[in-house]
Amino acid sequence: MNARERYLETLLFGKPDRVPLSPGGPRESTLRAWHQQGLLEGVPWQEQLRDALGIPQEPALPRPGLSVDFKMIPWFEEKVLEHRDGHYLVQDWMGNITEISDTFDYTYIRQAKDFVTRKWHDAPAHNRAEWEERLKWRYDPAAEGRLPGDFAANLPTWRARDYPLSITIPGPFWQMREWLGFEGLCYLMKDDPALIDEMAAFWTQFVLGVLDRVTPHVQLDSITVAEDMAYKAHAMISPAMTRRFVLPSYQAWADHLKASGCPVFAVDSDGNIEGLIPLWLEAGVNCARPMEVAAGNDLVGLRRRHGRRMAYTGGIDKRAIATGGQVMRDAVLSVVPPMLVEGGYIPACDHGVPPDISWPNFVEYARLLAQLTGWL
């Protein structure tokens, strides 16, 4: 099997020859630590990991991915408003007023390059008028830059690919939180639910408009909705609010994906998502990640409860990987073998790989995964 076939066979509960080896990925601070621990600079860490394990590079790197831009166009001006006591107060590209350590700069707010703690001071909108005047007009599905400049040129390669192709969509809760702030969104769900209905419906149609520029030309293997909406113990909003404000978007997107032939519809949320999974299943979601162990997610229990209706990726405790040795082995062996019995599972670190996971421990952990998933 090639990598694409193996990915789909695994997550769709088929019969892969091997389960994809996807242990998780480092961020900037992790790579800096690994370079001090023996990882060579200038060579992709994935290649060095497979070389260390004696596993062939499959598929060969690099390969063209598909980057679709769902961000606002144009951005707000990024600027430092104040610098004091070791922190920057910045206006970020989304129009938020955000505080970050001066170890970083505002470019770190654009994407998860590292593990960066932020404090939000204000949001770009607080009501309907500000949303329409400051934000809504920035989301035109046809705007130049939504698709990569080499989109048409890469179509033949993507259509003949032997690797999985996926895109990520900000979910409605995620997106409205960026517009209104967390507290602002939660208050308006109670005080002006009609406005939240309108915002969610707008976001649903905007995403469909962008997808309409992609899916007629290339069949995707998966779409992931980025939707961090859970604390350590439970979801951030009630089931009734989730059903009203979130599920209609998922249902509309699931219908589009099914019609386009995209088989995997995943949601990525940190925190304890056990209470959300039944709702996601209602909406057509069939894969969940990253299944953080510290938040109490019990993968084996979830498999017993929901069976083959939901696939998973992740679920390996990052704290155990950092400890290494028997602690790591016990954590992996308690989850991976029972989950692989029925399939529908790609084991991985339950979030980005932090710098307290050393390169030797990461290799040790990846070697055990390779043995369990049929690569060694």
Residues 148-187: tens digit of each pLDDT: 999 999 999 999 999 999 999 999 999 999 999 999 999 9
Per-residue pLDDT, 63: 76
Per-residue pLDDT, 105: 86
Cβ atoms within 10 Å, residue 319: 15
Would you state the CATH architecture of domain 3-72+128-372? Alpha-Beta Barrel (3.20)
Which residue ranges of the chain lie beneath pLDDT 70? 59-62
Residues of the chain with CATH 3.20.20.210: 3-72+128-372
If you search the block for the tokens 């599972």, which residue do you land on? Answer: 345
Per-residue pLDDT, 62: 62
Q: Does residue 59 have a cis bond before it (omega within 30 degrees)? A: yes
Could you give the CA distance from residue 354 to residue 317 in angstroms, rounded to a whole number? 11
pTM, two decimals, is 0.95
Could you give the CA distance from residue 50 to residue 149 in angstroms, rounded to a whole number? 32
Type of residue found at 124:
P
Both tokens of 361, joined, read 């421990």
Could you give the CA distance from residue 3 to residue 18 in angstroms, rounded to a whole number? 10
pLDDT digits (tens, 9 = 90+) for 101-143: 999 988 888 887 899 888 999 999 999 999 999 999 999 999 9
DSSP notation for 250-266: HHHHHHHHHHHT--EEE
If you search the block for the tokens 């209609």, which residue do you land on? Answer: 248
Per-residue pLDDT, 109: 87
Q: Is 228 exposed, middle or buried (0-12, 13-18, 19+ CB in 10 A)?
A: middle
Per-residue pLDDT, 325: 98
Could you give the CA distance from residue 234 to residue 42 in angstroms, rounded to a whole number? 42
Q: Where are the alpha helices (DSSP H) in the chain?
A: 3-11, 28-35, 45-53, 128-130, 151-159, 172-180, 182-191, 193-211, 239-245, 247-260, 277-282, 299-306, 318-323, 325-340, 359-372
Cα torsion 170, 148, 91, 138: sign: negative
Residues in a beta bridge with 355: none
